[in-house]
């Protein structure tokens, strides 16, 4: 329901933040909102775009703080904390994508997603990914992109999942540092409650472990999968990669 609107308390719960956090964002005009009389309302369509871009731009401490808050909000779905063993399998990973452009990366990721059997309509998914990239690139510094749909609707997926592609050729995907990208996660969440948390989890794994280097060195999909599961455990234990 992309046209749903939230109240202040509803948007705080949706974003895994406190009411005070949202009130501060409103005061500083850092979050999209409108007034209906004397009542604050928040469009889900606008909030989804704002929240995902905010997570992609968070730095180490801010990202860790948000991840902790979102972990508390998703214990009902992930009581054991770990996400990756459920969300991604070795067969969901392509270690040798032949794509050479942003458009072909997106198409190949959708094709990979379709092989999971969890996508209701690959054309809908492709259109939603392209709409999200038109707002702002999902690439971040470090050669990583975290693609996700513009709108999150339950009918799009049979269940939540992640696919990962590693391109043979680095591709300019719009990262803020101007550097090319070669690792592409596609995050597809059926449940609104876990989308932002999953995005924050993968970002934190990239920031706080040596996941990106290990994914580039891994010889095949199985070892890439083992790297992802191991790096998630490092994050959950609070372990940081040694400084290079």
pLDDT of 241? 57
CATH architecture, range 84-236: 3-Layer(aba) Sandwich (3.40)
pLDDT of 3? 61
pLDDT of 23? 94
pLDDT of 242? 55
Spans in the chain with pLDDT lower than 50: 1, 244
The one-character DSSP state at 209 is S
pLDDT of 130? 96
pLDDT of 49? 86
Task: Please report, for the chain, the start and end positions of each structural domain, with discontinuous segments joined by +.
Answer: 5-57, 84-236
CB 236 within 8 A of CB 81: yes
Please state the three-class secondary structure of 59-81 as a single string: CHHHHHHHHHHHHHHCCCCCCCC
Of 202, 66, 227, 205, whose CA–CA distance to 147 is shortest?
A: 202
Distance between CA atoms of residues 236 and 229, nearest Å: 11
Of 150, 210, 207, 215, whose CA–CA distance to 182 is shortest?
A: 215
pLDDT of 169? 96
pLDDT of 240? 63
- pTM assigned to the model: 0.90
Instruction: Say whether domain 5-57 belongs to CATH 1.10.3470.
Output: no
């Amino acid at each position: 329901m992309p046209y749903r609107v939230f109240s202040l308390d509803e948007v705080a719960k949706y974003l895994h933040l406190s009411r005070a956090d949202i009130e501060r964002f409103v005061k500083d005009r850092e979050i999209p909102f409108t007034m209906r009389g004397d009542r604050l309302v928040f469009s889900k369509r606008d909030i989804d775009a704002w929240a995902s871009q905010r997570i992609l731009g968070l730095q180490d401490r801010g990202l860790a703080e948000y991840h902790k808050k979102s972990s508390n909000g998703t214990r009902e779905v992930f009581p054991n904390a770990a996400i990756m063993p459920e969300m991604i399998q070795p067969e969901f990973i392509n270690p040798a994508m032949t794509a050479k452009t942003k458009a072909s990366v997106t198409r190949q990721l959708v094709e990979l997603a379709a092989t999971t059997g969890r996508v209701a309509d690959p054309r809908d998914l492709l259109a939603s990914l392209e709409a999200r990239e038109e707002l702002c690139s999902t690439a971040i510094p470090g050669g990583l992109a975290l693609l996700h749909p513009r709108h999150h609707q339950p009918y799009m997926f049979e269940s939540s999942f992640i696919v990962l592609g590693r391109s043979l050729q680095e591709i300019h995907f719009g990262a803020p540092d101007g550097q090319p990208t070669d690792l592409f996660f596609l995050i597809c969440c059926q449940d609104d409650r876990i989308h932002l948390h999953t995005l924050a989890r993968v970002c934190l794994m990239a920031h706080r472990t040596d996941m990106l280097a290990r994914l580039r060195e891994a010889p095949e999909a199985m070892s890439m999968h083992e790297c992802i599961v191991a790096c998630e455990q490092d994050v959950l234990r609070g372990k940081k990669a040694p400084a290079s």
